[in-house]
């Protein structure tokens, strides 16, 4: 090979690598995104965790939750102690763009426990037959449950939709749960592993008139948590996304390979975040 050919080859290789690194940062799906916590450096400020979506659903660390190496950038590590979790919203009212008709919840997870009643991302009350909201976590197996208009025995019904087998303990896996108003789907690593067609209509959240103190729900990451039960997660959670619509199988697969937002949205939001980090004196 001549010296000239070698130089051309080197330049082409360099361009190829540069192109790859640009392509690797494919942004996530933004249509319907109501919360996105990447847990990456620069999105954590003290106990506050920045929501990178346009909604600004900034989360808060309760107790101690540490950063760890994630699937993309950094993740958060939960130690199995119920005092330590992340609060996405302290109640339904402060869950700004709470999905009501359809939903997708998505994350990368490692799980050391696969608890009987475990929670990765939860907004629910499940107390005896009182079953409202939704639970993205485990019922021994990885599962997604949503209470909806139908079926309803008077105080809500949660059906834990789950596969026969779990991913390997301690390994990263990608999970997504979707509900489009008539079908609940659970994806593991981009493939549908469980489906339920019995649930229909709007999502059935707790509301004040239900009484019994079951009138509200926290949005929680890293724990199943309602008014009388606490089942803390042991393991890592990364790249949590919530949408107010059901992502398609193709979109779930796209998001598995993606991180971050498109440049336009990032620029628009960086100013808002700067103000949160350094609030102007009132």
The stretch near Ca ion (CB under 5 A) out of 7-15, 48-56, 62-70, 209-217 is 62-70
The answer to whether 111 contacts Ca ion (rule: CB under 5 A) is: no
Q: Return the residue of 2, 16, 153, 275 that touches Ca ion, per CB under 5 A.
A: 153
In the bound complex, what is the minimum distance in angstroms from residue 108's beta carbon to Ca ion? 8
Question: Looking at beta carbons only, is 218 or 238 nearer to Ca ion?
Answer: 238
Using a CB cutoff of 8 Å and minimum separation of 24, what contacts does 93-99 make?
95/57, 95/123, 95/219, 96/34, 96/55, 96/56, 96/57, 97/34, 97/35, 97/55, 97/57, 97/244, 98/34, 98/123, 98/205, 99/34, 99/203, 99/242, 99/243, 99/244, 99/245
User: Tokens standing for 88?
Assistant: 């996405």
- Reference 63, options 80, 75, 51, 39; nearest CA is 80
The answer to whether 210 contacts Ca ion (rule: CB under 5 A) is: no
The answer to whether 73 contacts Ca ion (rule: CB under 5 A) is: yes
User: Tokens standing for 156?
Assistant: 């809500």
Residue 194: CB atoms within 10 Å: 19
The stretch near Ca ion (CB under 5 A) out of 52-60, 134-142, 153-161, 209-217 is 153-161
The answer to whether 45 contacts Ca ion (rule: CB under 5 A) is: no
Residue 234: CB atoms within 10 Å: 18
Question: Looking at beta carbons only, is 235 or 246 nearer to Ca ion?
Answer: 235
Question: Looking at beta carbons only, is 95 or 108 nearer to Ca ion?
Answer: 108
In the bound complex, what is the minimum distance in angstroms from residue 40's beta carbon to Ca ion? 5
Residues that bind Ca ion (CB under 5 A): 38-40, 70, 72-73, 126-127, 129, 131, 153, 155, 226, 228-229, 238
């Amino acid at each position: 090979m001549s010296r000239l050919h070698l130089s051309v080859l080197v330049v082409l290789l360099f361009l190829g690598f540069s192109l790859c690194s640009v392509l690797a940062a494919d942004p996530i799906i933004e249509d319907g995104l109501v919360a996105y916590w990447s847990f990456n450096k620069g999105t954590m400020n003290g106990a506050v965790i920045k929501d990178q979506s346009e909604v600004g659903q900034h989360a808060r660390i309760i107790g101690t939750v540490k950063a760890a190496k994630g699937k993309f950038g950094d993740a958060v590590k939960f130690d199995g102690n119920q005092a330590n979790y992340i609060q996405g919203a302290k109640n339904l009212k402060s869950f700004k763009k709470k999905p009501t008709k359809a939903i997708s919840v998505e994350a990368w997870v490692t799980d050391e426990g696969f608890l009987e009643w475990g929670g990765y991302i939860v907004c629910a009350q499940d107390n005896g037959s009182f079953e409202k909201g939704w639970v993205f976590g485990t019922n021994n197996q990885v599962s997604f449950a949503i209470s909806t208009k139908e079926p309803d025995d008077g105080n809500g019904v949660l059906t834990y939709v789950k596969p026969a087998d779990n991913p390997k303990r301690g390994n990263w896996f990608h999970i997504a749960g979707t509900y489009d108003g008539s079908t609940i789907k659970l994806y593991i690593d981009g493939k549908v592993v469980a489906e339920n067609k019995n649930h229909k209509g709007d999502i059935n959240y707790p509301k004040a008139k239900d009484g019994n103190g079951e009138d509200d729900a926290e949005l929680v990451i890293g724990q199943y948590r309602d008014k009388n039960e606490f089942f803390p997660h042991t393991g890592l959670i990364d790249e949590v996304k919530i949408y107010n619509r059901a992502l398609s199988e193709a979109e779930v697969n796209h998001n598995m390979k993606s991180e971050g937002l498109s440049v336009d949205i990032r620029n628009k939001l960086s100013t808002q975040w700067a103000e949160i980090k350094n609030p102007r004196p009132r």
